[in-house]
Amino acid sequence: MATGLINANPIVYERKERRVRDSPIDTDEDIKDPEHPYSLEELKVVTEDSIEVNNKQSHVRVTFTPTVEHCSMATIIGLCLRVKLMRSLPPRYKVDIRVAPGTHATEAAGIFPFSSLSLLLKNSILALFFSVNELTIISA
C-alpha cells in the first residue's frame, strides 16, 4: 500500500437535497470513499444523473467518476457500489458499473463486467474483498 493518500485534498460538494422519487434505487448515497470520510455523493464520484435505471427491463447502469485520474481505488469503489447494489436491489436487476469515459487512466480496465467473469474468479475477488475491506468500507 502506498503510504500517502492518493488524493489528499478532495473537493467536497454539498449533498443534494433528496426529492421524493419513484425510482427503486436510492441506496448508494452512504458508501464512503475508501480514503476519506465523505460519501461518494459528497465527492461527486456518483451523482444522481449518472445512474440509469430501466425498471421494465430490470437493468441498472451506474457510471462513476473517480476523484483523480490515476485513482487506484477505482476498482474498490466499483466493487463497493456493486455489493451495495446487490444488497439493495431485487435480484431481477442486472447491474452494470462503469467508469465515466475520459476520467480514468486505465479506463478500459475500469469496467466491471462482473457477470462475465468466471465463477471462480468472481468468488475469489469477492472473498478477497470481504476479508480486507468489509468492516471498514461497506458497513462504514
Partner 1 sequence: MAKTNSWISHIEAFVDASCSSNQQNASVDAIAALVKNDSLTLEDLVREMELYLTTTDNIIRARGTLLLGEVLSHLTAKPLSSTIISSLVGFFTSRLADWQALRGTLVGCLALLRRKSNVGMVVGNEAKMLAENYLANVQTQSLAVHDRKLCFEVLQCLLDVYPEAVMDLDDELIRGILDAIDGEKDPRCLILTFHIAETLMRLFPDQSKSEESFAEEIFEILSCYFPIYFTHQKVDDLQIKRDDLSRELMNAFCSTPYFEPFAIPLVLDKLSSSLPLAKLDSLKYLSNCILHYGADRMFKHAKDIWFALKDVIFDFSPEGIIESAGDMESQKAQIAKEALTCLQMAVSQLNFVNSEPFTSLILDDPDIERIFLSVCLERSYSGIPKETLHQLNSIGSILSIASKVSIDGCSKVFQKFFPRLMNLLGVDKNDSSYGCIKDCNTSSNLNFGALYLCVEFLDSCRDLTIGLQDIPPQAPDSWCYLLKDFCGPLSYAFKSSLVNTVTAAKTGQEYVPCVVKGLQVLATFPGCHSPVSEKIYEDILAVLMSVITGRFDEPFLWRTALEALIQIGLHIEKFHDSKKERGYCKFVVERIVSMLLHDDTTSLGVKLEVISEIGTAGPDFMSTVIRGLEDVIFSNFSEIWVNGNLGAAEILVPLLQCYSNRVLPWCHKFGKADQVAMQFATNIWNLMEKSSVLSVEFQRNGVLDTTMMVMKLCVGYCTEENQSIIVRKAYTILSSTTFLLLDSLGLPLSNLEALQSIPDISGLSCKDEWLISLFASVVIVLHPQTPVPDVGALTRLFTVFLLKGHLPAAQALASMINKWPANIGTAELSSTHELEVVIDVVLESISAVLSSCLKECKIANGTDDNLSCSSLISYQIHAIVGLAWLGKSLLMRGHDKVKEIAKRLLKCLLSDQDIPATSVAKDEARDNDQNMHSLLIRAAADAFHILLTDSEVCLNRKFHATMRPLYKQRFFSSMMPVLLSSIKESNSSRTRAILYRALGHIFSDTPLAAVVAEAKKVIPALLEGLSISTLGVSNKEMTYNLLLVLSGILMDENGKEAIVENAHTIINHLIRLVSYPHMMLVRETAIQCLTAMSSLPHTRIYPMRPQVLRALVMSLDDPKRHVRQEAVRCRQAWASIASRSLHF
Stretch that binds partner 1, among 6-14, 101-109, 113-121, 130-138 (CB under 8 A): 130-138
Q: Taking each helix axis from N to C terminus, what angle separates 119-133 and 74-88, rounded to the nearest 10 degrees?
A: 100
- For β-strands 59-64 and 51-54, DSSP reports them as antiparallel
Q: How many residues bind partner 1 (CB under 8 A)?
A: 22
Q: Under a CB-based contact definition with an 8 Å cutoff, are residues 103 and 65 in contact?
A: yes
Take residue 76 and report the three cell numbers written for it. 474498490
Taking the least distance from each CB to partner 1, the nearer of 92 and 108 is 92
Q: Report in angstroms how near the CB of residue 61 gets to partner 1 at its nearest.
A: 18
Q: Is 13 a residue that touches partner 1 (CB under 8 A)? A: no
DSSP 8-state secondary structure symbol assigned to residue 112: B
CA distance 44 to 22: 22
Q: Report in angstroms how near the CB of residue 116 gets to partner 1 at its nearest.
A: 17
Q: Is 20 a residue that touches partner 1 (CB under 8 A)? A: yes
Give the interface with partner 1 as residue ranges (CB under 8 A): 20-22, 24, 26-27, 83, 86-92, 126-127, 130-131, 134-135, 138-139
